[in-house]
Amino acid sequence: MKTTKQIRATFLLLLTAVIWGLAFVAQEVGAEYLGTFSFNGIRFLLGAASLIPVILLFEREQMNGAKWQKLLGSSLAAGTVLFLASALQQYGVQLGTPAGKAGFITGLYTVIVPILSLILFRRKTHALVWTGAVLAVAGLLLLNLDDRFNLVIGAGECCLLGGSVMWAVHILVIDKFVTSLSPLKFSMGQFIVCGVESLLCALLWEDITLTAVRAAAVPLIYGGLMSVGVAYTCQALGQKDSDPTVAAIVFSMESVFSVIGGVLILHAHMEWQAYAGCALILTGIIISQLSPGKKSPESEYVTDVLSDEKKNREQLPLEV
Protein backbone atom coordinates (compact mmCIF):
# COMPACT_ATOMS: atom_id res chain seq x y z
CA MET A 1 0.00 0.00 0.00
CA LYS A 2 1.33 3.44 -0.92
CA THR A 3 2.36 5.81 1.84
CA THR A 4 1.24 9.44 2.01
CA LYS A 5 4.69 10.49 0.75
CA GLN A 6 4.44 8.19 -2.27
CA ILE A 7 0.94 9.44 -3.12
CA ARG A 8 2.12 13.04 -2.88
CA ALA A 9 5.17 12.22 -4.99
CA THR A 10 3.02 10.63 -7.70
CA PHE A 11 0.75 13.68 -7.71
CA LEU A 12 3.73 16.01 -8.12
CA LEU A 13 5.13 13.88 -10.96
CA LEU A 14 1.75 13.85 -12.68
CA LEU A 15 1.50 17.63 -12.28
CA THR A 16 4.93 17.89 -13.93
CA ALA A 17 3.72 15.77 -16.85
CA VAL A 18 0.63 17.99 -17.22
CA ILE A 19 2.73 21.17 -17.28
CA TRP A 20 5.18 19.73 -19.80
CA GLY A 21 2.39 18.36 -21.99
CA LEU A 22 0.61 21.72 -22.12
CA ALA A 23 3.94 23.38 -22.94
CA PHE A 24 3.53 22.04 -26.49
CA VAL A 25 0.39 24.17 -26.76
CA ALA A 26 2.39 27.19 -25.58
CA GLN A 27 5.05 26.42 -28.19
CA GLU A 28 2.47 26.18 -30.97
CA VAL A 29 0.91 29.52 -30.00
CA GLY A 30 4.31 31.15 -29.52
CA ALA A 31 5.40 30.03 -32.99
CA GLU A 32 2.70 32.28 -34.47
CA TYR A 33 4.54 35.38 -33.23
CA LEU A 34 8.22 34.54 -32.79
CA GLY A 35 10.79 32.55 -34.73
CA THR A 36 12.26 29.33 -33.33
CA PHE A 37 15.46 30.88 -31.94
CA SER A 38 13.76 33.99 -30.55
CA PHE A 39 11.14 31.98 -28.69
CA ASN A 40 13.65 29.47 -27.29
CA GLY A 41 16.19 32.11 -26.35
CA ILE A 42 13.75 34.13 -24.28
CA ARG A 43 12.01 31.19 -22.63
CA PHE A 44 15.22 29.39 -21.61
CA LEU A 45 16.70 32.54 -20.12
CA LEU A 46 13.42 33.04 -18.23
CA GLY A 47 13.73 29.45 -17.07
CA ALA A 48 17.29 30.04 -15.89
CA ALA A 49 16.17 33.14 -13.96
CA SER A 50 13.38 31.14 -12.32
CA LEU A 51 15.98 28.84 -10.74
CA ILE A 52 17.76 31.66 -8.93
CA PRO A 53 15.43 31.65 -5.86
CA VAL A 54 15.49 27.83 -5.78
CA ILE A 55 19.31 27.85 -5.73
CA LEU A 56 19.39 30.53 -3.03
CA LEU A 57 16.97 28.53 -0.87
CA PHE A 58 18.32 25.00 -1.32
CA GLU A 59 21.89 25.11 -2.63
CA ARG A 60 24.50 24.73 0.10
CA GLU A 61 27.46 23.24 -1.77
CA GLN A 62 30.66 25.28 -1.70
CA MET A 63 32.28 25.68 -5.14
CA ASN A 64 36.05 25.86 -5.68
CA GLY A 65 37.90 26.71 -8.88
CA ALA A 66 38.02 23.13 -10.17
CA LYS A 67 34.28 22.61 -9.58
CA TRP A 68 33.43 25.87 -11.35
CA GLN A 69 35.58 24.84 -14.32
CA LYS A 70 33.89 21.45 -14.54
CA LEU A 71 30.47 23.06 -14.15
CA LEU A 72 31.12 25.53 -16.95
CA GLY A 73 32.44 22.82 -19.31
CA SER A 74 29.55 20.47 -18.60
CA SER A 75 26.97 23.26 -18.89
CA LEU A 76 28.44 24.25 -22.26
CA ALA A 77 28.28 20.68 -23.59
CA ALA A 78 24.79 19.90 -22.28
CA GLY A 79 23.47 23.36 -23.11
CA THR A 80 24.60 23.05 -26.72
CA VAL A 81 22.86 19.69 -27.10
CA LEU A 82 19.79 21.21 -25.41
CA PHE A 83 19.95 24.08 -27.92
CA LEU A 84 19.91 21.63 -30.86
CA ALA A 85 17.12 19.50 -29.36
CA SER A 86 14.88 22.44 -28.48
CA ALA A 87 15.52 24.17 -31.83
CA LEU A 88 14.54 21.07 -33.81
CA GLN A 89 11.46 20.60 -31.64
CA GLN A 90 10.30 24.22 -31.87
CA TYR A 91 10.98 24.43 -35.61
CA GLY A 92 8.97 21.24 -36.11
CA VAL A 93 6.05 22.89 -34.29
CA GLN A 94 6.55 26.11 -36.25
CA LEU A 95 6.29 24.15 -39.52
CA GLY A 96 2.74 23.26 -38.57
CA THR A 97 2.92 20.01 -36.61
CA PRO A 98 0.03 20.04 -34.07
CA ALA A 99 0.88 20.12 -30.36
CA GLY A 100 -0.47 16.62 -29.66
CA LYS A 101 1.41 15.03 -32.52
CA ALA A 102 4.58 16.90 -31.56
CA GLY A 103 4.28 15.62 -27.98
CA PHE A 104 4.08 11.99 -29.01
CA ILE A 105 6.94 12.19 -31.52
CA THR A 106 9.10 13.92 -28.90
CA GLY A 107 8.18 11.25 -26.33
CA LEU A 108 9.98 8.66 -28.44
CA TYR A 109 13.23 9.78 -26.79
CA THR A 110 12.48 7.43 -23.86
CA VAL A 111 12.70 4.50 -26.27
CA ILE A 112 15.71 5.92 -28.12
CA VAL A 113 17.83 6.38 -24.95
CA PRO A 114 18.45 2.66 -24.23
CA ILE A 115 19.00 1.95 -27.93
CA LEU A 116 21.66 4.67 -28.17
CA SER A 117 23.17 3.35 -24.93
CA LEU A 118 23.58 -0.05 -26.58
CA ILE A 119 25.08 1.43 -29.76
CA LEU A 120 27.42 3.93 -28.11
CA PHE A 121 28.29 2.35 -24.76
CA ARG A 122 27.50 -1.36 -25.26
CA ARG A 123 24.98 -1.29 -22.40
CA LYS A 124 22.73 -4.33 -22.50
CA THR A 125 19.18 -3.61 -23.62
CA HIS A 126 16.30 -5.79 -22.40
CA ALA A 127 13.90 -7.42 -24.88
CA LEU A 128 11.06 -5.25 -23.53
CA VAL A 129 12.88 -2.17 -24.82
CA TRP A 130 12.95 -3.62 -28.34
CA THR A 131 9.27 -4.56 -28.01
CA GLY A 132 8.50 -1.01 -26.97
CA ALA A 133 10.57 0.33 -29.88
CA VAL A 134 8.63 -1.77 -32.42
CA LEU A 135 5.29 -0.60 -30.99
CA ALA A 136 6.49 3.01 -30.99
CA VAL A 137 7.58 2.83 -34.64
CA ALA A 138 4.23 1.26 -35.60
CA GLY A 139 2.47 4.03 -33.70
CA LEU A 140 4.59 6.66 -35.45
CA LEU A 141 3.52 5.29 -38.83
CA LEU A 142 -0.17 5.38 -37.83
CA LEU A 143 0.27 8.88 -36.46
CA ASN A 144 1.40 10.06 -39.89
CA LEU A 145 -1.36 8.50 -42.01
CA ASP A 146 -3.78 10.94 -43.59
CA ASP A 147 -7.54 10.40 -43.95
CA ARG A 148 -6.90 8.32 -47.10
CA PHE A 149 -4.32 6.18 -45.27
CA ASN A 150 -1.39 7.64 -47.21
CA LEU A 151 1.84 7.97 -45.26
CA VAL A 152 2.66 11.67 -44.94
CA ILE A 153 5.87 12.58 -43.17
CA GLY A 154 6.71 16.24 -43.69
CA ALA A 155 9.61 18.46 -42.69
CA GLY A 156 7.98 19.22 -39.34
CA GLU A 157 7.75 15.55 -38.37
CA CYS A 158 11.35 14.98 -39.47
CA CYS A 159 12.54 17.90 -37.31
CA LEU A 160 10.63 16.58 -34.32
CA LEU A 161 12.05 13.08 -34.80
CA GLY A 162 15.54 14.56 -35.03
CA GLY A 163 14.78 16.54 -31.89
CA SER A 164 13.71 13.34 -30.14
CA VAL A 165 17.11 11.81 -30.97
CA MET A 166 18.83 14.91 -29.59
CA TRP A 167 16.74 14.75 -26.38
CA ALA A 168 18.02 11.19 -25.96
CA VAL A 169 21.61 12.39 -26.55
CA HIS A 170 20.98 15.13 -23.98
CA ILE A 171 20.08 12.54 -21.34
CA LEU A 172 23.24 10.56 -22.12
CA VAL A 173 25.36 13.72 -21.89
CA ILE A 174 23.84 14.43 -18.47
CA ASP A 175 24.48 10.82 -17.42
CA LYS A 176 28.16 11.27 -18.30
CA PHE A 177 28.92 14.70 -16.86
CA VAL A 178 26.59 15.63 -14.05
CA THR A 179 26.59 13.09 -11.22
CA SER A 180 29.45 14.86 -9.41
CA LEU A 181 28.07 18.38 -9.94
CA SER A 182 25.46 20.54 -8.28
CA PRO A 183 22.35 19.66 -10.31
CA LEU A 184 20.70 23.02 -9.66
CA LYS A 185 23.68 25.08 -10.79
CA PHE A 186 24.23 22.73 -13.73
CA SER A 187 20.62 23.10 -14.86
CA MET A 188 20.81 26.86 -14.65
CA GLY A 189 24.10 26.81 -16.55
CA GLN A 190 22.79 24.70 -19.42
CA PHE A 191 19.64 26.84 -19.69
CA ILE A 192 21.79 29.98 -19.95
CA VAL A 193 23.98 28.38 -22.64
CA CYS A 194 20.91 27.26 -24.59
CA GLY A 195 19.25 30.65 -24.25
CA VAL A 196 22.33 32.64 -25.29
CA GLU A 197 23.05 30.38 -28.29
CA SER A 198 19.41 30.65 -29.36
CA LEU A 199 19.40 34.46 -29.13
CA LEU A 200 22.66 34.70 -31.09
CA CYS A 201 21.06 32.66 -33.89
CA ALA A 202 17.94 34.82 -33.65
CA LEU A 203 20.01 37.99 -34.13
CA LEU A 204 21.59 36.46 -37.23
CA TRP A 205 18.54 34.95 -38.92
CA GLU A 206 15.36 36.32 -37.36
CA ASP A 207 13.68 39.65 -36.75
CA ILE A 208 12.80 40.20 -33.09
CA THR A 209 10.34 42.99 -32.37
CA LEU A 210 8.95 44.18 -29.06
CA THR A 211 5.45 43.85 -30.52
CA ALA A 212 6.03 40.15 -31.28
CA VAL A 213 7.48 39.51 -27.81
CA ARG A 214 4.47 41.17 -26.19
CA ALA A 215 2.09 39.13 -28.35
CA ALA A 216 3.88 35.92 -27.30
CA ALA A 217 4.14 36.95 -23.63
CA VAL A 218 1.80 34.27 -22.25
CA PRO A 219 3.42 31.34 -24.14
CA LEU A 220 6.87 32.67 -23.18
CA ILE A 221 5.99 32.97 -19.51
CA TYR A 222 4.40 29.53 -19.49
CA GLY A 223 7.29 27.95 -21.42
CA GLY A 224 9.91 29.64 -19.26
CA LEU A 225 8.50 29.88 -15.75
CA MET A 226 5.97 27.02 -15.65
CA SER A 227 7.63 24.28 -17.72
CA VAL A 228 11.08 25.08 -16.30
CA GLY A 229 10.68 26.70 -12.88
CA VAL A 230 7.47 25.18 -11.47
CA ALA A 231 7.73 21.82 -13.26
CA TYR A 232 11.41 21.56 -12.34
CA THR A 233 10.61 21.97 -8.65
CA CYS A 234 7.68 19.53 -8.79
CA GLN A 235 9.87 16.99 -10.56
CA ALA A 236 12.61 17.37 -7.98
CA LEU A 237 10.27 17.01 -5.00
CA GLY A 238 8.31 14.16 -6.61
CA GLN A 239 11.32 12.06 -7.56
CA LYS A 240 12.68 12.38 -4.05
CA ASP A 241 10.03 9.95 -2.74
CA SER A 242 9.26 7.97 -5.90
CA ASP A 243 10.71 4.92 -7.64
CA PRO A 244 12.62 6.05 -10.78
CA THR A 245 10.79 3.60 -13.04
CA VAL A 246 7.42 4.82 -11.76
CA ALA A 247 8.58 8.39 -12.36
CA ALA A 248 9.59 7.59 -15.96
CA ILE A 249 6.19 6.00 -16.66
CA VAL A 250 4.30 8.95 -15.14
CA PHE A 251 6.40 11.35 -17.23
CA SER A 252 5.37 9.44 -20.37
CA MET A 253 1.87 10.86 -19.77
CA GLU A 254 3.29 14.19 -20.96
CA SER A 255 2.45 13.06 -24.50
CA VAL A 256 -1.17 12.37 -23.55
CA PHE A 257 -1.59 15.82 -22.01
CA SER A 258 -0.13 17.43 -25.13
CA VAL A 259 -3.02 15.87 -27.11
CA ILE A 260 -5.59 16.87 -24.48
CA GLY A 261 -4.24 20.43 -24.48
CA GLY A 262 -4.35 20.60 -28.26
CA VAL A 263 -7.96 19.41 -28.36
CA LEU A 264 -9.30 21.54 -25.47
CA ILE A 265 -7.32 24.75 -25.98
CA LEU A 266 -6.52 24.84 -29.69
CA HIS A 267 -9.53 22.77 -30.85
CA ALA A 268 -7.18 20.50 -32.80
CA HIS A 269 -8.51 17.48 -34.67
CA MET A 270 -6.83 14.19 -35.53
CA GLU A 271 -8.13 11.17 -37.44
CA TRP A 272 -8.88 7.96 -35.52
CA GLN A 273 -5.74 6.27 -36.88
CA ALA A 274 -3.66 9.09 -35.38
CA TYR A 275 -5.18 8.46 -31.95
CA ALA A 276 -4.47 4.74 -32.43
CA GLY A 277 -0.88 5.67 -33.24
CA CYS A 278 -0.68 7.75 -30.06
CA ALA A 279 -1.93 4.77 -28.05
CA LEU A 280 0.72 2.50 -29.60
CA ILE A 281 3.49 5.00 -28.96
CA LEU A 282 2.40 5.45 -25.33
CA THR A 283 2.25 1.67 -24.88
CA GLY A 284 5.72 1.32 -26.38
CA ILE A 285 7.12 4.03 -24.10
CA ILE A 286 5.64 2.40 -20.98
CA ILE A 287 6.79 -1.11 -21.96
CA SER A 288 10.32 0.17 -22.60
CA GLN A 289 10.43 1.41 -18.98
CA LEU A 290 9.43 -1.93 -17.46
CA SER A 291 12.64 -3.89 -18.04
CA PRO A 292 12.94 -6.14 -14.95
CA GLY A 293 15.99 -5.75 -12.80
CA LYS A 294 17.41 -2.87 -14.85
CA LYS A 295 16.79 0.84 -14.85
CA SER A 296 16.99 3.01 -17.91
CA PRO A 297 19.97 5.43 -18.18
CA GLU A 298 17.76 8.35 -17.23
CA SER A 299 16.48 6.43 -14.18
CA GLU A 300 20.04 5.51 -13.18
CA TYR A 301 20.94 9.20 -13.32
CA VAL A 302 18.00 10.10 -11.10
CA THR A 303 19.06 7.48 -8.55
CA ASP A 304 22.68 8.72 -8.54
CA VAL A 305 21.61 12.33 -8.06
CA LEU A 306 19.23 11.50 -5.23
CA SER A 307 21.98 9.56 -3.48
CA ASP A 308 24.41 12.46 -3.79
CA GLU A 309 21.81 14.96 -2.65
CA LYS A 310 21.05 13.05 0.56
CA LYS A 311 24.73 13.30 1.40
CA ASN A 312 24.54 17.06 0.81
CA ARG A 313 21.68 17.70 3.24
CA GLU A 314 18.59 17.65 1.09
CA GLN A 315 19.62 19.64 -1.98
CA LEU A 316 17.12 19.37 -4.82
CA PRO A 317 17.83 16.99 -7.78
CA LEU A 318 17.92 16.75 -11.53
CA GLU A 319 17.06 18.84 -14.56
CA VAL A 320 14.04 19.35 -16.71
Give the pLDDT confidence of 262-302 residue by residue, as tens digits.
988 988 887 888 888 888 888 888 887 776 544 444 444 43
What per-residue confidence (pLDDT) applies to 89?
Answer: 95
- pLDDT by residue (tens digit) across 138-165? 888 888 887 777 777 899 999 999 999 9
pLDDT band at 227 (very low <50, low <70, confident <90, very high): confident
- pLDDT by residue (tens digit) across 57-116? 877 777 788 888 888 998 999 999 999 999 999 999 999 999 989 999 998 888 888 888
Once rounded to an integer, what is the mean pLDDT over residues 227-254?
74
Mean pLDDT estimate for the chain:
82
Residues whose CB falls within 8 Å of the CB of residue 196, separated by 6 or more in sequence, listed in order: 41, 45
